[in-house]
Amino acid sequence: NAGVTQTPKFRILKIGQSMTLQCAQDMNHNYMYWYRQDPGMGLKLIYYSVGAGITDKGEVPNGYNVSRSTTEDFPLRLELAAPSQTSVYFCASSPRQGAAYEQYFGPGTRLTVT
Protein backbone atom coordinates (compact mmCIF):
# COMPACT_ATOMS: atom_id res chain seq x y z
CA ASN A 1 0.00 0.00 0.00
CA ALA A 2 1.19 3.51 -0.83
CA GLY A 3 -0.87 4.92 2.08
CA VAL A 4 -1.78 8.60 1.70
CA THR A 5 -0.20 10.40 -1.23
CA GLN A 6 -0.20 14.13 -1.96
CA THR A 7 0.78 16.15 -4.99
CA PRO A 8 2.48 18.46 -5.59
CA LYS A 9 5.18 18.56 -2.89
CA PHE A 10 5.88 22.25 -3.41
CA ARG A 11 4.09 25.07 -5.20
CA ILE A 12 4.47 28.83 -5.50
CA LEU A 13 1.33 30.77 -6.42
CA LYS A 14 0.79 34.40 -7.20
CA ILE A 15 -1.94 36.28 -5.35
CA GLY A 16 -5.30 35.64 -7.01
CA GLN A 17 -4.30 32.40 -8.73
CA SER A 18 -6.12 29.14 -8.10
CA MET A 19 -4.92 25.58 -7.70
CA THR A 20 -5.97 22.12 -6.57
CA LEU A 21 -4.01 20.08 -4.05
CA GLN A 22 -4.42 16.38 -4.72
CA CYS A 23 -4.81 13.70 -2.06
CA ALA A 24 -5.37 9.99 -2.54
CA GLN A 25 -5.42 6.97 -0.23
CA ASP A 26 -5.44 3.27 -1.05
CA MET A 27 -6.51 1.93 2.35
CA ASN A 28 -10.28 2.09 1.68
CA HIS A 29 -10.70 4.56 4.53
CA ASN A 30 -14.01 6.36 4.82
CA TYR A 31 -12.80 9.41 6.74
CA MET A 32 -10.50 11.94 5.09
CA TYR A 33 -9.22 15.28 6.32
CA TRP A 34 -7.35 18.37 5.20
CA TYR A 35 -5.20 20.23 7.73
CA ARG A 36 -2.94 23.22 7.42
CA GLN A 37 0.18 23.75 9.50
CA ASP A 38 1.58 27.24 9.96
CA PRO A 39 5.18 27.70 11.16
CA GLY A 40 5.65 26.68 14.80
CA MET A 41 2.01 25.73 15.16
CA GLY A 42 -0.11 22.63 15.39
CA LEU A 43 -2.36 21.46 12.60
CA LYS A 44 -5.75 23.06 12.04
CA LEU A 45 -8.65 21.32 10.32
CA ILE A 46 -9.83 22.87 7.04
CA TYR A 47 -12.38 20.36 5.71
CA TYR A 48 -13.26 16.76 6.30
CA SER A 49 -15.28 13.98 4.68
CA VAL A 50 -16.96 10.96 6.27
CA GLY A 51 -17.46 9.19 2.95
CA ALA A 52 -17.88 9.66 -0.79
CA GLY A 53 -20.27 12.51 -1.51
CA ILE A 54 -20.20 13.90 2.04
CA THR A 55 -18.01 16.84 3.08
CA ASP A 56 -18.14 19.45 5.82
CA LYS A 57 -16.24 22.45 7.13
CA GLY A 58 -13.59 22.34 9.82
CA GLU A 59 -12.12 25.18 11.89
CA VAL A 60 -10.58 27.24 9.06
CA PRO A 61 -12.53 26.62 5.81
CA ASN A 62 -12.57 30.15 4.35
CA GLY A 63 -10.88 30.38 0.96
CA TYR A 64 -11.01 26.62 0.32
CA ASN A 65 -13.34 24.07 -1.24
CA VAL A 66 -13.36 20.29 -1.39
CA SER A 67 -15.11 17.47 -3.16
CA ARG A 68 -15.25 13.71 -2.56
CA SER A 69 -16.54 11.86 -5.58
CA THR A 70 -14.72 8.61 -4.74
CA THR A 71 -13.53 6.89 -1.56
CA GLU A 72 -9.91 7.23 -2.68
CA ASP A 73 -9.61 10.92 -3.63
CA PHE A 74 -10.14 14.12 -1.66
CA PRO A 75 -8.85 17.20 -3.54
CA LEU A 76 -8.58 20.62 -1.91
CA ARG A 77 -9.26 23.65 -4.10
CA LEU A 78 -7.85 27.11 -3.42
CA GLU A 79 -9.65 29.92 -5.20
CA LEU A 80 -8.11 33.42 -5.36
CA ALA A 81 -4.97 32.57 -3.40
CA ALA A 82 -3.94 35.00 -0.65
CA PRO A 83 -0.65 35.35 1.30
CA SER A 84 -2.50 34.11 4.41
CA GLN A 85 -2.81 30.72 2.70
CA THR A 86 0.95 30.25 2.72
CA SER A 87 1.29 27.08 4.77
CA VAL A 88 2.02 23.38 4.67
CA TYR A 89 -1.07 21.32 3.84
CA PHE A 90 -1.54 17.78 5.09
CA CYS A 91 -4.13 15.28 4.03
CA ALA A 92 -5.06 12.41 6.34
CA SER A 93 -7.35 9.40 6.31
CA SER A 94 -8.90 7.22 8.98
CA PRO A 95 -10.86 3.96 9.02
CA ARG A 96 -14.44 4.05 10.17
CA GLN A 97 -14.70 0.66 11.82
CA GLY A 98 -15.52 0.46 15.49
CA ALA A 99 -13.35 2.56 17.76
CA ALA A 100 -10.51 2.92 15.27
CA TYR A 101 -9.61 6.57 15.20
CA GLU A 102 -6.05 6.44 13.94
CA GLN A 103 -5.27 9.04 11.31
CA TYR A 104 -2.62 8.42 8.70
CA PHE A 105 -0.99 11.49 7.18
CA GLY A 106 0.45 12.19 3.77
CA PRO A 107 3.86 13.87 3.28
CA GLY A 108 2.37 17.34 2.82
CA THR A 109 2.31 20.12 0.21
CA ARG A 110 4.30 23.26 0.94
CA LEU A 111 2.48 26.23 -0.60
CA THR A 112 3.81 29.78 -0.87
CA VAL A 113 1.58 32.62 -2.06
CA THR A 114 3.43 35.78 -3.12
Binding residues for other proteins, per CB under 8 A? Answer: 4, 31, 33, 40-45, 48, 50, 56, 58-59, 90, 94, 99, 101-108
Amino acid at 108: G
Q: 64 vs 108, which CB is nearer to other proteins?
A: 108
ω before 8 within 30° of 0 (cis)? yes
Check: CB of residue 89 under 8 Å from CB of residue 109: yes
Closest CA relative to residue 2, chosen from 110, 112, 91, 86? 91
Minimum CB–partner distance for residue 16 and other proteins (Å): 28
Q: 14 vs 40, which CB is nearer to other proteins?
A: 40
Minimum CB–partner distance for residue 108 and other proteins (Å): 5
